[in-house]
Chain A
């Protein structure tokens, strides 16, 4: 079935450790996104990518890094510089048509990251 797969579902990070969250899609979408969600809050955009080998910072990029070496994959690394990483992380993808704003997002099921 087509869709977005995030792994792992739960992840624990030790102090000073970098961790990487996986996001894979087989929808042939050009654009991919990472959002962070804190309890009882809405989603905040971390990074997004419109095309392979290109990505832009969202609203809360500090302490995070991404890569987009393949169309299907958009991994997110939570670095040790992110002092409050505990949150629910959501990956999404969409078609990309320049100048069009009606393309809907498809979301993965999320990764819950906690600090030990």
Chain B
């Protein structure tokens, strides 16, 4: 399975942008890059996903490298509610169907 590598933790000040890197050097041509975040004691929630082009939504932006071996999740203005663990994941579409494998994620701390 293609794997992702993320820093264990990052800190940011409130109202400042946060750039969360993810390396996925073994990504296959059909794998989408997904990002989820998990607040304490809750299930993860979807943030954004993309294939080749950069993507924007109301929560964040996703910048994908041209060779697709890395990507960056961008939170434009961090708030205290953005403090969570952020997971970068590759979809694995095998013969049995879709499977999503999570790594350790990046714990984001937002300082007021």
Give me the interface of A with B, judged by CB distance under 8 Å. Answer: 4, 31, 33, 35, 41-45, 48, 50, 56, 58-59, 90, 92, 94, 96, 98-110
Contacts and interface: CB of A to CB of B under 8 A. Distances in A.
B36 to A, nearest CB: 7
B97 A102 contact: no
Contacts of B19: none
Interface of B: 30-32, 34, 36, 41-46, 49, 51, 87, 91-93, 96-105
Given A104-B46, A110-B41, A98 B97 contact: yes
A58 B93 CA distance: 14
Contact of A103 (B42, B98, B103): B98
B104 A42 contact: yes
Contacts of A106: 46
B42 A110 contact: yes
A50 B101 CA distance: 15
A33 B31 CA distance: 19
A90 B96 contact: no
Contact of B43 (A42, A96, A107): A107
